[in-house]
C-alpha cells in the first residue's frame, strides 16, 4: 500500500530548526519572537561574545521555557583551533597570481613575498603538491617545498592578504587537538550553565571527541561537527563516538571542491540516521536573508532538499545572529519545512534510506510503530522514556505520525529538541501500566496531538524506570473525559 501523507505535530512539522543567537537576536523580545516563529533550539556561538553575554542568553532562553511551558534545547558551539597567518608591515599585502609566497617561522611583519605562520606543527608536515587555502579559500597556494623552517609555495590564486587571516590545510591531518585552552574554558562555562549540547569543531578523528566527553562529565550531549575532509574517512567511527552530527558545509566547502559537498552531505545524513542519532544540516541555508527579507529560490530548494533527505534539524547561522531579518528567516524556514512535509511523497522519500532494526526488542517495537501507524489511523505515537533512547529508535524509522515523548527528565526533554518528529514533554514519572495509558491520553489531548475518538500508539518499557527495557506496544482510543485531570 502507498505510504500515507504524514500527520503534523503542533509545530506543523517534524524537522527541527536550530537558530544561532547573536547581536541581532539576543534581546528577550527577539528570542521570544524567534521561538514563536518556529525555533526549536538555540545555538550559542562561543567564537564570539563574552561569557557574561552568553550567560544572559541562556538565562533568557530558560525563562522562555517557563513562559511557553516547552523544553528548549541549547547548543554551545565551541570555536576549536584556528590556524592563522601572522601580521604584515602595512596590515596587508598583495600576493601575485602565479607568483611565489613563503610561510615561515620568522615573527617579523610580512610583505608580498612572505609572512609568519605561527603554527610550528605544520612545518615538516606539509609535502610538495599539497594545498594551503587562506581567507576561506580566496587565496590558494600550492606547496613547492617544505622543511622545518619554511613552506615555499606558488600562488594558484593570488589576491589581497591581511593580518591574521585563517589558513585551511585540506590535504593533511593536522596534529593538533580539537580543544584549545579557550575551548576548555568555554566548555566548563557551558556545562556549568546547563546547556544541553556541546558542538565540537575541528574534528578529524574519533579520538578528538574523547577529551570533550571526559570534561563534559555526562552533563550534555556531544555533537561532532564534520567540517574537515579528514573526518570523512573516519565518519563511521566519529558518528559512533558522538551523540549527534553537524554537517558544517561552510568549512567543508572551503576545503573541498563545491560539487563534492552535496553528495557528501547526503552521505553524512544517511550514515548518521542509520545510527539513530540526530543530524543537523548547517551553514548558508538562507544566506541572502542576512540582508534581504526574502530568500532566493536556490536557497529555498536547498532547505527543502535537506528536509526531503530526512535531516533531523536545519540550522540558521548569521541569518539570525547578525542579519537584518532574523524573524523572517525563521518564518520562511518553518514554512518550507511544513510545505515539504505536506507533500504526499515526503514519507516515501525519507524512507528511501533502509533503516533495518537491530536484533533487539526495543528496535523491533520501534519498527512496529511505523508499520502500525501506516496501517491504523492513529494520531500520534506516545513514547515513555527516561534517557531518550526509545525516542531515537522510533525517530530513525521516520513514522508518518508525530511522536509525543513523555519523560520525567527535563534534561532528556531538552536534548530531544534536535530530534526529528519528537515533541518532548517533561512530566511526572509513572508507576503502572494503567497510569501510563491514562497519562498518554491526557497529554496527547493537552498538547494538540489528538481529540476524542483518536487512536494512539503507546510505547514503553515494563518495569517502569528501568533503562533499556522497552518491551510494550499498545494501541489505545481516547474518550471524551480524558482532559479532566491535570498532573503535569
> Active-site positions?
43, 84, 225, 283
CA 384 to mean position of chain CA atoms: 24
CA distance 275 to 169: 30
CA 460 to mean position of chain CA atoms: 27
Buried b (16+ CB within 10 A) or exposed e, 84-94: bbbbbeeeebe
- Helical axes 28-37 vs 326-342, angle rounded to 10°: 10
Q: Tell me the backbone φ, ψ of residue 88, rounded to 5 degrees.
A: -115, 155
Contact 317, 44 (CB under 8 A): no
Contact 455, 477 (CB under 8 A): yes
Cell of 477: 482510543
Cell of 207: 579520538
Strand (E) or helix (H) holding 16: strand 16-21
Contact 76, 182 (CB under 8 A): no
CA distance 75 to 20: 9
Amino acid at each position: 500500500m502507498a505510504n500515507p501523507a504524514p500527520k503534523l505535530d503542533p509545530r506543523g512539522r517534524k524537522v527541527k530548526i536550530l537558530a544561532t543567537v547573536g547581536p541581532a537576536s539576543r534581546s528577550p523580545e527577539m528570542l521570544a519572537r524567534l521561538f514563536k516563529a518556529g525555533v526549536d533550539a538555540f545555538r550559542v556561538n562561543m567564537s564570539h561574545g563574552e561569557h557574561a553575554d552568553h550567560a544572559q542568553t541562556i538565562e533568557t532562553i530558560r525563562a522562555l521555557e517557563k513562559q511557553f511551558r516547552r523544553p528548549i534545547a541549547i547548543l554551545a558551539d565551541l570555536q576549536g583551533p584556528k590556524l592563522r597567518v601572522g601580521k604584515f608591515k602595512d596590515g596587508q599585502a598583495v600576493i601575485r597570481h602565479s607568483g611565489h609566497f613563503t610561510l615561515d617561522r620568522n615573527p617579523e611583519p610580512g610583505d608580498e613575498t612572505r609572512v609568519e605562520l605561527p603554527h610550528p606543527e605544520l612545518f615538516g608536515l606539509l609535502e610538495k603538491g599539497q594545498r594551503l587555502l587562506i581567507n576561506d579559500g580566496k587565496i590558494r597556494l600550492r606547496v613547492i617545498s617544505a622543511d622545518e623552517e619554511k613552506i615555499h609555495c606558488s600562488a594558484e590564486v593570488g589576491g589581497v592578504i591581511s593580518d591574521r587571516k585563517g589558513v585551511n590545510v585540506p590535504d593533511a591531518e593536522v596534529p593538533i587537538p580539537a580543544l584549545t585552552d579557550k575551548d576548555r574554558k568555554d566548555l566548563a562555562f557551558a556545562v556549568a550553565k546547563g546547556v544541553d549540547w556541546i558542538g565540537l569543531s575541528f574534528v578529524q578523528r574519533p579520538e578528538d571527541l574523547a577529551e570533550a566527553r571526559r570534561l563534559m562529565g555526562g552533563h550534555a550531549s556531544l555533537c561532532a561537527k564534520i567540517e574537515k575532509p579528514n573526518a570523512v574517512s573516519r565518519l563511521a567511527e566519529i558518528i559512533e563516538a558522538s551523540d549527534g552530527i553537524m554537517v558544517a558545509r561552510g568549512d567543508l566547502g572551503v576545503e573541498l571542491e563545491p560539487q563534492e559537498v552535496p553528495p557528501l552531505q547526503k552521505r553524512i545524513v544517511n550514515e548518521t540516521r542509520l545510527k539513530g542519532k540526530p543530524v543537523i544540516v548547517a551553514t548558508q541555508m538562507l544566506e541572502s536573508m542576512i540582508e534581504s527579507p526574502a530568500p532566493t529560490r536556490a536557497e529555498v530548494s536547498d532547505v527543502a532538499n535537506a528536509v526531503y533527505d530526512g535531516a533531523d534539524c536545519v540550522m540558521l547561522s548569521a541569518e539570525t545572529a547578525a542579519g537584518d531579518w532574523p524573524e523572517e528567516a525563521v518564518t520562511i524556514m518553518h514554512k518550507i519545512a511544513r510545505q515539504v512535509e505536506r507533500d504526499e511523497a515526503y514519507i516515501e522519500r525519507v524512507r528511501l534510506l533502509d533503516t533495518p532494526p537491530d536484533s533487539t526488542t526495543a528496535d523491533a517495537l520501534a519498527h512496529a510503530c511505523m508499520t502500525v501507524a501506516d496501517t491504523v489511523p492513529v494520531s500520534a505515537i506516545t513514547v515513555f522514556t527516561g534517557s531518550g533512547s526509545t525516542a531515537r529508535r522510533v525517530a530513525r524509522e521516520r513514522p508518518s505520525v508525530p511522536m509525543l515523548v513523555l519523560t520525567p527528565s527535563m534534561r532528556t526533554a531538552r536534548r530531544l529538541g534536535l530530534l526529528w518528529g519528537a515533541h518532548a514533554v517533561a512530566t511526572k514519572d509513572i508507576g503502572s501500566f494503567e497510569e501510563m495509558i491514562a497519562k498518554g491520553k491526557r497529554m496527547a489531548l493537552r498538547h494538540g496531538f489528538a481529540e476524542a475518538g483518536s487512536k494512539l500508539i503507546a510505547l514503553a518499557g515494563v518495569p517502569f524506570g528501568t533503562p533499556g527495557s522497552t518491551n510494550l506496544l499498545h494501541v489505545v482510543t481516547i474518550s471524551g473525559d480524558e482532559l479532566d485531570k491535570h498532573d503535569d
